[in-house]
Amino acid sequence: MYFCIMSKEQQQEKTVHERVDFTTLLKQYQLKVTQPRLRTLEVISTKKSAISQPELEKLIGKEIDRVTLYRVLASFEEKGILHKIFDLNGTATYALCSTNCSEHNHHDQHVHFICRSCNSVFCMDEITLPSFNIPEGYKLEAVAINALGLCDQCQEK
């Protein structure tokens, strides 16, 4: 499971993202408008949490084959439409990026709190990531910081 705890500003941004017409969104990212891409966006946008490829396959059914879905997810991640989060089992889950992400500039890097009991992943957007002084000759492409512990629900058990 994946939950994103967003600030009011981010919630407003997400609402703006939800109002974006998917055809326009695909064109904005210079992707061909196809039924598999539109259907994948439709399903992901209805979820309040990140979703794995197997979960997507169940929801979409036989409308899109596994290979096509894999390619759609990969292209969306590459273009900055989705970002990938791994849970404790190593399963990749996907969530919509904020509206200001692009192919070369993702803004969805934040701390993820992973509950070791229920395997839920919570976005901790309110925690500021440290800056990294990378040595010359290295190029930083992504930062993934995971905090491990018990969520509030599991602590009550």
Closest C-alpha among 54, 115, 119, 44 to residue 83: 44
Q: What is the CATH number of the domain that holds 151?
A: 1.10.10.10
The structure tokens 């969530």 sit at 95
What domain range is 66 assigned to? Answer: 2-155
Report field, pTM of the whole predicted structure over 0.85: no
Number of domains in the chain: 1
Query: Per-residue pLDDT tens for 91-111?
Result: 898 878 766 666 666 656 778
pLDDT beyond 60 at 18: no
Cα 79 to Cα 41: distance, rounded to the nearest angstrom: 14
Query: Per-residue pLDDT tens for 40-79?
Result: 999 998 876 678 899 899 999 999 999 999 999 999 999 9
Contact 10, 125 (CB under 8 A): yes
